[in-house]
Structure 1
């Protein structure tokens, strides 16, 4: 069981994501590290998110510039990641994140801490797509159901056997997520609509936040697929994919392949009596 928490948003308006992170960590003095490597203008994006956290009262927010000219494995960055309570990845191009962080000591420390400590690792758009051990980085519209058009590569590996796709409904990405899990049935596909996200607890329980829908595509019970036999540039066939649609208040358990409502934490009788007494005072 992993001790860390992953928070992933499907893109779009992200003020609610920042507020959620703030509510999860609680102390205003928590160490927050922003990594904007995926962004077209990393410095501007990093500083903008730093200011957004500071506007909510967080007073220990820093930004790491990691790109072609700034290596990840700087002594200062390693020291800061070892002390971070929250690591936040911005949106942009997820291939840039893997290019500059995969294989680094910095990423290895993040993985270890996520497995062993109650750290929060969060991201939006590209910063969400890189969280698992593999990620989708290509495939558009109906072309994504043609062999060779959908492409995957290595992600950051905080969790495994999961594909996270973002801007899912808005950019018509059902085909490429279905193709990915049909090709790798041990993986579960998670499609995040914009302004909608997931919280992954214990590396297993996926809970929804936001106003939209999270799509789950489960290939664990497929009866047939031709994805490995069919030639390049030919359409794929799949039998018996299972799909779920989650909204806030519901969860999906990866290990059990189980859809269920999130338990409502009702007050105990003693608490209800205490609250009733307080209301009479």
Structure 2
């Protein structure tokens, strides 16, 4: 079996999209987003989810703030939504409750607030709620997450890590995320918290994926065709390891710098796009812009 064919099979490991349906958008937001009714990010999410008829579910599990879900609900109300449910999955038992699963099944859009991504992974991972969310996204439900919620949408999630520009062995620890896609590894608050090194470290562990570093008040809208479009006021750092020629990760001591040769990097701004299939970046105005 050739590599390209194998790559297509591996890329389907998240829930499969039913015949004649399109996968929903996957929308990691870098955190620090302006939760106001003028936000282009949330406006776009609402439009995709059905406009004023959208059925939006807010999941504040990652946050320890009692008001996280309510504040997000207020913003969606300002955007003209009335069909909004806050589903606080506090325990794994909550993730098995029939009434909660039914609420998730009827959603057209889902929004994960920020907080601690390990709280999301350990509470939701492997539960019926996770399965409903995965199958829902495969069938057309749009799922967004900010900060911790952004990290959680991937199959390979950066759980914890250190700041710095140089990758080092042990700089990032990975855990399973929700698994909507295994095409990317997302890191959030990217430029603001100097996280290039830990994203490179994560990619050195798993060079199959593409790294997506999302600045604050910025979102990567990953379409059903696996083309990413940038929204918001910051930048998107795309790290492409597909042509990696050398990595010293396996022979490096814990805490030591890791050498990587052949990594490609793009900085994209609002309106720019990146095709995960062709691994091509397109600045806004490019005649070949998808």
**Do they fold alike, i.e. is TM over 0.5?**
yes
Task: State the TM-score bracket (shorter-chain normalisation).
Answer: 0.7 to 0.9
Q: TM-score, normalised by structure 1?
A: 0.88
The structure 1 residue matched to 2:126, chosen from 97, 103, 108, is 103
Q: Does residue 188 of structure 2 align to residue 162 of structure 1?
A: no
Q: Could you say what the CA RMSD is over the residues aligned between the two structures, in angstroms?
A: 2.0
Per-residue deviation, 1:204: 1.1
Per-residue deviation, 1:114: 1.1
Alpha-carbon distance in structure 2 between the residues aligned to 1:249 and 1:89? 24
Match of 1:54 in 2: 77
CA deviation profile, 1:171-226 (whole Å, cap 9, x unmatched): 00011111111221111100001011111101511110011110001111111111
Match of 1:83 in 2: 106
Match of 2:51 in 1: 27
The structure 1 residue matched to 2:87, chosen from 52, 58, 64, is 64
Per-residue deviation, 1:69: 8.2
- Structure 2 unaligned segments of length 5 or more: list them: 1-16
Match of 1:125 in 2: 147
- Structure 1 unaligned segments of length 5 or more: list them: 266-281
Larger Rg: 1
Q: Does residue 10 of structure 2 align to residue 10 of structure 1?
A: no
Alpha-carbon distance in structure 1 between the residues aligned to 2:286 and 2:53? 30
Per-residue deviation, 1:25: 2.8
Q: Does residue 137 of structure 2 align to residue 114 of structure 1?
A: yes
Q: Does residue 273 of structure 2 align to residue 245 of structure 1?
A: no
8 A Cα contact 2:58 2:84, kept in partner? yes
Per-residue deviation, 1:262: 5.5
